[in-house]
């Protein structure tokens, strides 16, 4: 199949979260199955700053935005042997962040991603590449299926192309005031309940859900949850309309990229059968962060976007408890200003056993996964979650709230699992969270069974091999609908 990935972030080029991990690793897994895969994304400042080799292409892109024909340039790089097209319009993408600053989203995001999506559709016809599958991700690219479906319905170029839309996080829908319609190059006919109108606003994700041939999200549990009023973020009705075309496919992680045996960022590499490197990495991290260097104190890691979704308010309530307990806690995160302020205020008060880093730091992240005995994800909701999968791979036992993809990947003995790989809790409360942490701390004392759990987590398989097959099957189903 000829498969085009359209995404607003792709690892290693630009990343704010799990979306980039997926759009960086799923194409590679599909490429291994010998599909012709290509990727399109914006050319952000961070990509140029990181020194990736970027070629100029003779072609440009055009998009009618707010009645003005705007032009962009096309650049190209590669991900292994996968061509990556980069849409370059400095005014929109040469900025320090992808979507906004900690204070909030960039005010012209509808224009920026409207230009990107229109640019993608424009570009496809100029490239010598007619995809069988166009696979779009999250609100930033939701306009692609919408405009192909409504503006190109009779266009032979797209007639046999299946449109796939993946929801990585239903809470970020691309909601804009009605006036954004013209900036997106859309006429008023789009502002109806069966298209993009949503309580007086323009909702880009709604358009993606309604117009793609098939829609999926990133775990079976989240796929069930989002059809309920409680967790549907206002789009549960729209999702239920697509019930027959809605799938849940668990994300994987790239086992070459995330491999404690070869990870060059680690102080010391290790494997499930030779864990001494993990202990050495813990000691080195304790030293680097000014924590007491003791192998027997459990080290808890948390690497996260600082947003309400991730249970930061539960963490906040428990910080005094973490401080007074016999454990060490390393927090690495960036995100909402209010949480940054709260954590930096706590940091100033000082706690010998807690180390807080308000940054996006991929090297430190890898060292924390490797050094941690436990990994915390008290998420309010979690579409899939990659943190717990990376933690398992690095021998850190996940302590998570049983929701979405966390419920599908972390198995607790309390639920009768014979081979547990972590600790879970149900109720979204500090008490329940602490209950799971306390059970993990107690289990940590039983070294033999603890090490067994660590090894079995490291040996479990959450690579893309299986899920890439499920994507292929879903693509086939979508193709049947258009052929
Ligand atoms: P989400 O996509 O909702 O943020 P996931 O668990 O799916 O959550 O993926 C998060 C990804 O981003 C993981 O690869 C994690 O290691 C990484 N990450 C999150 N915060 C940071 C940070 N501050 N520094 C480095 N990596 C981070």
Residue whose CA lies nearest to ligand 1 atom number 8: 18
Q: Which residue has the tokens 């086939």?
A: 476
Q: Which of 310, 336, 365 maximizes ligand 1 atoms within 8 Å of its Cβ, making it the mutation to test the pocket? A: 365
Q: Which of 9, 10, 17, 405 maximizes ligand 1 atoms within 8 Å of its Cβ, making it the mutation to test the pocket? A: 17
Q: What is the pLDDT of residue 183?
A: 87
Q: From the CA of 127, how far away is ligand 1's center (Å)?
A: 33
Rg (Cα) of the chain, in Å, rounded? 23
Distance CA 295, CA 405 (A): 31
Query: Residue range 95-104: average pLDDT?
Result: 93
Task: Classify domain 276-461 by CATH architecture.
Answer: 3-Layer(aba) Sandwich (3.40)
Ligand 1 site residues (CB inside 6 A) read 17-19, 21, 303-305, 332-334, 360-362, 365, 384-387, 390
Query: Residue range 439-452: average pLDDT?
Result: 96
Q: Give tens-digit pLDDT for 229-283.
A: 999 999 999 999 999 999 999 999 999 999 999 999 999 999 999 999 999 999 9
Q: From the CA of 361, how far away is ligand 1's center (Å)?
A: 10
Q: Give tens-digit pLDDT for 20-47.
A: 999 999 999 999 999 999 999 999 999 9
Ligand 1 atom nearest 365 alpha carbon: 25
What are the residue boundaries of the structural domains of the chain, listed by start? 2-252+465-482, 276-461
Q: Which stretches within 325-372 are classed as H helix?
A: 337-349, 362-371
> Quick check: 125 pLDDT over 90?
no
Ligand 1 atom nearest 253 alpha carbon: 14
Q: Do domains 2-252+465-482 and 276-461 have the same CATH topology?
A: yes
- Mind giving me the DSSP string for 374-406? EEEE--S--SS-SHHHHHHHTT-EEEEES-HHH
Q: What is the pLDDT of residue 102?
A: 82
In CATH, 2-252+465-482 is 3.40.50.1370: no
- Mind giving me the DSSP string for 297-315? S-EEEEEEEESGGGTHHHH
What are the Cα distances from residue 154, in Å, to 149, 151, 187, 206? 9, 8, 19, 22
> Quick check: 174 pLDDT over 90?
yes
Residue 232, Cα to own-chain centre: how many angstroms?
A: 18
> Quick check: 290 pLDDT over 90?
yes
Query: Residue range 62-67: average pLDDT?
Result: 88
Q: What is this structure's pTM?
A: 0.95
Q: What is the pLDDT of residue 19?
A: 96
């Amino acid at each position: 199949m000829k498969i085009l990935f359209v995404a607003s972030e792709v690892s290693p080029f630009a990343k704010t979260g799990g979306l980039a991990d997926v759009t960086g690793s799923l194409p590679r897994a599909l490429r291994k199955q010998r599909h012709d895969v290509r990727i399109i994304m914006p050319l952000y400042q961070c990509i140029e700053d990181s020194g990736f080799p970027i070629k100029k292409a003779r072609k440009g892109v055009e998009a009618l935005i707010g009645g003005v024909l705007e032009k962009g340039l096309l650049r190209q790089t590669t991900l292994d042997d996968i061509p990556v097209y980069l849409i370059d319009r400095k005014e929109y993408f040469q900025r320090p962040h992808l979507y906004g600053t900690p204070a909030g989203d960039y005010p012209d995001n509808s224009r920026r991603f409207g230009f990107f999506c229109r640019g993608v559709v424009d570009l496809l016809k100029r490239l010598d590449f007619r995809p069988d599958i166009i696979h779009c991700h999250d609100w930033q690219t939701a306009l692609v299926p919408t405009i192909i479906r409504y503006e190109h319905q009779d266009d032979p170029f797209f007639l046999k192309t299946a449109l796939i839309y993946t929801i990585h996080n239903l809470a970020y829908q691309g909601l804009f005031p009605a006036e954004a319609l013209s900036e997106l190059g859309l006429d008023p006919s789009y502002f109806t309940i069966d298209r993009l109108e949503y309580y007086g606003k323009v909702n880009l994700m709604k358009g993606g859900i309604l117009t793609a041939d098939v829609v999926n999200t990133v775990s079976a549990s989240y796929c069930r949850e989002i059809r309920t009023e409680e967790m549907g973020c206002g789009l549960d009705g729209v999702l239920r309309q697509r019930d027959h075309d809605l799938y849940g496919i668990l994300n994987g992680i790239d086992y070459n990229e995330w491999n404690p045996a070869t990870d060059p960022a680690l102080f010391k590499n290790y494997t499930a059968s030779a864990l001494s490197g993990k202990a050495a990495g813990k000691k080195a991290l304790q030293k680097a962060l000014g924590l007491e260097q003791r192998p027997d104190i459990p080290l808890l890691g948390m690497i996260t976007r600082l947003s309400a979704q991730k249970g930061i308010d539960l963490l906040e309530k428990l910080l005094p408890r973490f401080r007074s307990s016999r454990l060490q806690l390393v927090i690495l995160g960036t995100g909402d200003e209010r949480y940054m302020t709260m954590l930096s205020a706590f940091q100033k008060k000082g706690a010998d056993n807690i180390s807080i880093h308000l940054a996006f730091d991929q090297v430190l992240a890898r060292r924390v996964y490797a050094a941690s005995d436990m990994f915390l994800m008290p998420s309010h909701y979690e579409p899939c979650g990659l943190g717990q999968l990376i933690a398992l791979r690095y021998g850190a036992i996940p302590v998570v709230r049983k929701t979405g993809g966390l419920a599908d990947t972390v198995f607790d003995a309390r639920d009768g699992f014979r081979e547990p790989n972590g600790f879970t809790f149900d109720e979204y409360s500090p008490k329940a969270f602490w209950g799971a942490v306390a059970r993990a701390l107690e289990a940590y004392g039983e070294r033999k069974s603890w090490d067994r759990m660590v090894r079995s987590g490291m040996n479990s398989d959450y690579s893309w091999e299986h899920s890439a097959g499920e994507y292929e099957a879903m693509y086939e189903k979508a193709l049947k609908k258009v052929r």
